[in-house]
Amino acid sequence: MRHGRVAFFGLRSIVPFVLIGPALAADPSSETPNAAEPVAASVDRLAFVGQKLSEWKVVLGGGAMMVPKYEGSDEFDIQPVPFVTATFGEHVKVDPRGVSVNVYSFGNLNLSAQLGYDTGRKQKDSDHLRGLGDIDAGGVVGGTLAYELGPAEFYASLSRIVGGSDGLEAKIGFDLAHQIDQFRFSVGASATWADENYMESYFGVTAAQSAASGLKQYDIGAGFKRVDLDLAVTYMASEHWLVRGQVGIGYLLGDAADSPVVQEAFQPSGMLTLGYRF
């Protein structure tokens, strides 16, 4: 859960102005406004917004999550989690990871493009990072090829971080979901590979960083950096309200796990959220 990739979109309302001429001003009825009209207009606007939110399958909510302070940390933070998810038609999805656009489908095979951002890393996040410097945030562009087989989905994704580490990440995995009455259970497993730029930024220690931090110098190349297992349960308390709990189990691999930046290879996480579905 290290990456937070969120995109926001705004809509601008345009209010027309109407000039009233002398002929209308002379009409006594025009001087007495109908108080019910603004109320009716507001109700109509709210109904329109509610209808659109329903058509777009919007879910609004929030909660809290427990995650390592950084990738490889043995300390944890509890953070608030505001979130919004929405589906626009059959092609565009927005969720806390970013924006996904379905660009091609052939049977059960789907190709989508993603846009989001990488939060980077701050040395102030942990005493163990002091002297390593900050890794700036960056934009993320990528693509995912997915194949649906019944309740399971197998996927392979490739993401490029623009700015920050200027790294490249690739992920392969699957998700499996099953619904029983008001409960939806899901499990996912994945393995993540990263290029040299990413690995050097997050797990390498240069000579200058070694002198400033006291950690030993460490060079690292491209390779698989971690495997993850995610378990989630969603309870539909009513037609609109839902509660979701999720547990993640991550484990750093190989040269990434051996880095002096890493305090603990085992990387658990947890999240509990409450949402309202329109």
Are 148 and 108 spatial neighbours (Cβ–Cβ below 8 Å)?
yes
Sign for the CA dihedral angle at 265, 266, 272, 273 comes to positive
Label residue 165 exposed, middle or buried (CB < 10 Å: 0-12, 13-18, 19+).
buried
Residue 88 pLDDT level (bands cut at 50, 70, 90): confident
Q: Which helix (H) or strand (E) element contains residue 23?
A: helix 22-25
Mean pLDDT is lowest, of 44-48, 65-69, 231-235, for 44-48
Q: For residue range 257-266, what is the model confidence (pLDDT) as tens digits?
A: 999 999 999 9
pLDDT for residue 47 is more than 70: no
Fold assignment, 57-277: Porin (2.40.160)
pLDDT band at 30, cuts 50/70/90? very low
